[in-house]
Structure 1
Amino acid sequence: MKIDLNIFNEIISSIKNYKNLLVAFSGGIDSMVLIDILSLLRDKKIKNNLSFKFRAIHINHFLNKNSKKWAIYCKNECKKRNILYNIYEINLSKIKNNIEEKARNYRYKIFKKNIKSHEILLTAHHQDDQAETLLLSLKRGSGPLGLSSMNLNSKFYKNRIIRPLLNCSKIQIKNYAKYRKLNWIYDKSNDNEKFDRNFLRINIIPLFTKRWPKFNYLVSRTARLCYEQEKLLNDLLKKELNKLIKYDGSLYFKPLINMKKNKIFFLLRRWIHKNKIKMPSEKQINIILNEIILSKKKSMPIFHLSNKIISKYKNKLYILEKQECIKLDNTIILWKKKNNKLSLPENLGIIYKFFEKNIYYSEYFFLKKNKNKEFFMIFPIKIFIRLPNLNENIFIKFRNKKKSFHTIIKNKKYSLKKIFNKMSVPPWWRNRIPLLFYNNNLISALGLFVSDFAYPIINNKILKIIWKNNIKN
Structure 2
Amino acid sequence: MIFKKKTQFILHKFPKILVAYSGGLDSTVLLYNLVKLRKIYPYIKLRAIHVNHNLNFYSNQWSKTCFLQCKKWNIPFICKNIILNNKKGNIEERARIERYKIFNNFIENNEIIVTAHHLDDHYETILLFLKRGSGLKGLSGISKIHIINKLRLFRPLLDISRKKLLHYAINNNLNWIDDQSNLDNKYDRNFLRNVILPQIHYRWPFFKKSVLKTSSICREQEELITELLNSVMKKLIQSNNSLFLIPLYKYSFVKRNSIIKKWIEYNQCQIPSNKILSIIWKNIVCSKSDYKSYLKIGIYQIRKYNSYLYCIKNYFTLKNKIYYWNNILFPLTLPNNLGKLFFLNKCEKNTLQVRKPKNKEKVYIKFYITGKYFFSEHIKKKIKIHDIWKKLNIPIWERDNIPLLFYNNLFIAELKNNIVTLEGSNNKEKNFIFWNKKNIS
**TM-score, L = length of structure 2:** 0.91
Cα distance in structure 2, aligned partners of 1:447 and 1:196? 46
1:414 aligns with 2:414: no
Shift in alpha-carbon separation, 1:181–1:130, aligned structure 2, 3 A: same
Matched residue, 1:353: 343
Q: 1:23 aligns with which of 2, 19, 22?
A: 19
Cα distance in structure 2, aligned partners of 1:353 and 1:238? 47
Cα distance in structure 1, aligned partners of 2:209 and 2:46? 29
CA contact 1:351–1:468 (8 Å) conserved in 2 = no
1:282 aligns with 2:274: yes
DSSP-derived class of the 1:255 partner: helix
DSSP-derived class of the 1:465 partner: strand
Cα distance in structure 2, aligned partners of 1:390 and 1:93? 47
Matched residue, 2:416: 447
Matched residue, 1:95: 87
Matched residue, 1:61: 53
CA contact 1:123–1:161 (8 Å) conserved in 2 = yes
Shift in alpha-carbon separation, 1:470–1:337, aligned structure 2, 3 A: closer
Cα distance in structure 2, aligned partners of 1:461 and 1:406? 20
Shift of 1:391: 5.2
Cα distance in structure 2, aligned partners of 1:16 and 1:223? 28
Matched residue, 1:178: 170
Cα distance in structure 2, aligned partners of 1:218 and 1:164? 22
Deviation readout 1:255-275 (Å, 9 max, x if unpaired): 111111222112111211122
Matched residue, 2:143: 151
Deviation readout 1:216-238 (Å, 9 max, x if unpaired): 34433433332333223223322
Deviation readout 1:328-374 (Å, 9 max, x if unpaired): 21x333333633421223443322332447x9xxxx7xxxxxxxxxx
Deviation readout 1:355-407 (Å, 9 max, x if unpaired): 447x9xxxx7xxxxxxxxxxxxxxxx63122333455443322224xx53533
Cα distance in structure 2, aligned partners of 1:69 and 1:112? 25
Matched residue, 1:39: 35
Deviation readout 1:45-81 (Å, 9 max, x if unpaired): xxxx796332211111111010111011111222222
Shift of 1:468: 5.2
CA contact 2:46–2:75 (8 Å) conserved in 1 = yes
CA contact 1:126–1:170 (8 Å) conserved in 2 = yes
Cα distance in structure 1, aligned partners of 2:346 and 2:11? 53
Shift in alpha-carbon separation, 1:207–1:469, aligned structure 2, 3 A: farther
Matched residue, 1:383: 352
Cα distance in structure 2, aligned partners of 1:298 and 1:384? 34
CA contact 2:26–2:116 (8 Å) conserved in 1 = yes
Q: 1:84 aligns with which of 64, 76, 87?
A: 76
Matched residue, 1:373: none
Cα distance in structure 1, aligned partners of 2:342 and 2:230? 40
Cα distance in structure 2, aligned partners of 1:74 and 1:395? 49
Shift of 1:105: 0.7
Two-structure CA RMSD over aligned residues (Å): 2.6
Shift of 1:467: 4.6
Matched residue, 2:332: 342
Cα distance in structure 2, aligned partners of 1:307 and 1:327? 18
Shift in alpha-carbon separation, 1:84–1:394, aligned structure 2, 3 A: closer
Shift of 1:280: 1.1
Shift of 1:136: 1.5
Shift in alpha-carbon separation, 1:452–1:34, aligned structure 2, 3 A: closer
Matched residue, 1:436: 405
Shift in alpha-carbon separation, 1:254–1:164, aligned structure 2, 3 A: same
**TM-score, L = length of structure 1:** 0.85
DSSP-derived class of the 1:238 partner: helix
Cα distance in structure 2, aligned partners of 1:398 and 1:76? 50
What letter is aligned with 1:450? V
Cα distance in structure 1, aligned partners of 2:424 and 2:264? 41
1:113 aligns with 2:82: no
1:228-377 correspondence runs (5 A):
228-297=220-289, 300-324=292-316, 326-329=317-320, 331-336=321-326, 338-356=328-346
Shift in alpha-carbon separation, 1:79–1:150, aligned structure 2, 3 A: same
Matched residue, 1:463: 433
Deviation readout 1:283-311 (Å, 9 max, x if unpaired): 11111111111123576311111122211
Shift in alpha-carbon separation, 1:292–1:389, aligned structure 2, 3 A: same
Matched residue, 1:211: 203
Q: How many residues align?
A: 438
Cα distance in structure 1, aligned partners of 2:211 and 2:104? 29
Cα distance in structure 1, aligned partners of 2:324 and 2:169? 64
Shift in alpha-carbon separation, 1:298–1:129, aligned structure 2, 3 A: closer
DSSP-derived class of the 2:315 partner: helix
CA contact 2:328–2:343 (8 Å) conserved in 1 = no
Cα distance in structure 2, aligned partners of 1:114 and 1:291? 39
Cα distance in structure 2, aligned partners of 1:335 and 1:42? 53
Identity of aligned residues (%): 37
Cα distance in structure 2, aligned partners of 1:98 and 1:92? 11
Shift in alpha-carbon separation, 1:385–1:193, aligned structure 2, 3 A: same
What letter is aligned with 2:207? F
Higher normalized contact order (CA 8 Å, seq sep 6+, divided by chain length): 1
What letter is aligned with 1:421? K
DSSP-derived class of the 1:414 partner: strand
Shift in alpha-carbon separation, 1:192–1:348, aligned structure 2, 3 A: same
